[in-house]
A and B are shown apart, each in its own frame.
Chain A
Amino acid sequence: MRVAFGWLSTVMLLGLAAPAFAQTWQVDPAHSALTFTNSYQNVEYSGQFRRFDAKIDYDPNDPARAKFDVTIDITSLDTQNSERDHSALGADFFDTAKFPKAHFVTTSFRKAADGKVIADGVLTLRGVSKPVVLTVAFKPNGNSATLDVTAQLKRLDFGVGAGEWADPSMIGNAVTVRGHLQLRAEP
């Protein structure tokens, strides 16, 4: 009876509980970073957003049920150049007076032919929502894990530096965004 009950609860946990909730992870902000690379006057530079909030539900055995929901504080931009940071927050670029935050949420996860996990999602930046594709690399390590994501996007899709600043030889249109998250399993 005891054995049977134990068996039954395992089945319930696996069959009912697990599919309902993928593992939820907490982000360790001290060891996580949201960075990007872009070019300015054809010279590559990198920057980061120092403050962001990420809700990560991910089970490597069942990525289809995963969900990432990330809110980025655009005003925390840091490109190691104070004039550039100040300018980038202005109305011609991120316009943080109107749009202080960006939001990314996944809509679905799939496996590419090469076995990589791909997340489709929607990024809302500067009031514009566009699909963005993430490449996902998840490495579990006991109760913790690292999550590395990469996305390619185009700043002009979101109206960042449109008009007289659109020239890509001045500011590159292509932006590579990388997230490196140190995760701890939520109890």
Chain B
Amino acid sequence: MPLRSTEQGWGALVRAFHWLIAALIVAQGVIGLSMVQMGLTPAKVRVFALHKSIGITILALVLLRIAWRLTEKRPADPPAMPRWQVLAARAVHFALYVLILAIPLSGWWFNSVSNAPLVWFGWIGVPSLTGGYDPIWKPRALLVHQTLFWLLVTLLVAHVGAALWHHFRQRDEVLRRMVVGSREKTGGG
């Protein structure tokens, strides 16, 4: 199971980034939508702190993932895949990268203009992006955070739908190579 991606499949590191970030995004969505319904208790404060910590984690992982991806070549597209589908897939992937960077950043921004504390898992203090409370930008930052989230949900429907379509209708390698990497036994590199 090579660490690096090959022509046939994604490397172990790309797949680890993909599924770890995917799991964290699903958790974030569930936590984020539930926490705003909670009554004011210490538990609510802790759940908000958890949401912020996971968000900063996703931001850091996405930056590492992009840095790693820049050193790699992506596996070849299925030969039968029409050009418009290739372009659509690239566009969605690019938009997903933008969103999974922008959503944690907008949350961090919202937290900053709210003048709320942010300590990563109660351990490392994360500085404010804006240097204090800003009641004018606060509702705007929240709107940006929420709008980008729902845009992400929409794109994820397309992303997951396309992956399942490739696997079950096209019966190609697109999903498998992100789950198990490549079929071939390669010696590495």
Enumerate chain A interface residues (CB-CB to B < 8 A): 40-43, 45, 79-84, 87, 90, 92, 164-165, 167, 170
| Residue from the list A43, A81, A82 in contact with B119, Cβ < 8 A | A43
B115 in contact with A80 (CB, 8 Å): yes
CA distance A43 to B119 in the complex (A): 8
Tell yes or no: B45 within 8 A of A by CB.
Answer: yes
| In the A-B complex, the 10 residue pairs with the closest CB atoms | A80-B133, A43-B117, A81-B115, A41-B117, A80-B115, A170-B42, A164-B42, A40-B117, A87-B40, A81-B133
* Complex interface: chain B residues within 8 A of A165 (CB): 42
Please give me the residue from chain B that is nearest to A40 by CB atom.
B117
B117 in contact with A80 (CB, 8 Å): no
9 pairs from A and B in contact (CB 8 Å cutoff): A41-B119, A43-B117, A81-B114, A81-B115, A82-B135, A84-B116, A164-B42, A170-B42, A170-B45
* Complex interface: chain A residues within 8 A of B82 (CB): none
Tell yes or no: B154 within 8 A of A by CB.
Answer: no
* Complex interface: chain A residues within 8 A of B135 (CB): 82
Q: Please tell me the number of chain B residues within 8 Å of chain A, measured between CB atoms.
A: 16
Tell yes or no: B188 within 8 A of A by CB.
Answer: no
Please give me the residue from chain B that is nearest to A164 by CB atom.
B42
| Residue from the list B41, B42, B114, B122 in contact with A83, Cβ < 8 A | B114
- Chain B, 107-131, contact with A by CB distance < 8 Å: what is the 0/1 string? 0000000111101001001000000
* Complex interface: chain A residues within 8 A of B45 (CB): 41, 170
Q: A92-B40, A170-B45 are in contact. List 6 more A-B contacts (CB 8 A).
A: A40-B117, A41-B119, A41-B122, A42-B119, A43-B119, A83-B116
Residues in B2-43 with C-beta less than 8 Å from chain A: 40-42
